[in-house]
Structure 1
Amino acid sequence: CVERSLDTVITTLAVLMAHGVYVPLDTAFPTDRMHHMLTEVGATLVLTHQPTHDTVPHGPWHTLNIDTLQTATTTPDLDHTLARLPRHLDPDHACYIIFTSGSTGRPKGTTVTHANVTRLFNAVRQRLP
């Protein structure tokens, strides 16, 4: 949950390098929508920076303000959570989850795998050298 900036690119890469799943949260989303999305994906960690830190709803997830590199909640089990991340990345592992409003108005997540992203990049590489 960071504003669009270089921080967006850096945090996305950090999540992917840690074999996590990136879920973009728009800072303009209502709190209940963000809470639903984070609950739906089973989020364990939300990366923020100072301007967006207070927009993240409270929940069972940890928040980390990248501007201060201090956890915003008590995190006795954060090391345990990070230790459970997969060590081997499979092409079928989730890369990111994007939410749409859906026909019911409730956000619905669509999981995109690393293989999906690779196929997309290969497809557009010839058109966008």
Structure 2
Amino acid sequence: KSETTSAMPIEASKTGWSQNFKMRPSLTNNRGQCGLALDGKMKHQDTNFATSTLAKDYRKKNTMAIIVQYSIRVKVITGFGGRDTEMDIPFILIHEPKKIDPSNIPEDINIENFSRIKLKLGEELASSDP
């Protein structure tokens, strides 16, 4: 939650007003909050809010996923004689991709075919039965 009264009041003839807010969520302040989708582990410091779900139509019945959407609630108090206005503005949260240092990538990459291992283990178990 953030409130500001900077650059207030806004004159009636003024156009193109904008205000930028930089918010950085803190895990320590939000640890007990319900309904937060996080990327990372709760016990580590590198936890971020989960990125928004980008899907064409997530309302299909056969879709099983956690849909992450964000919005900012803005309340404008117009003052004497006017109506206060409150609205939800949706936005998409996307994190920058992590930069990978090519010197840290190992040259030998071991890829195991787990289906073959599972098949071999199944054959060994079947042959060991009396």
Bigger proportion of residues as helix: 1
| TM norm structure 1 | 0.22
Q: Which has the higher contact order (CA 8 A, sep 6+)?
A: 1
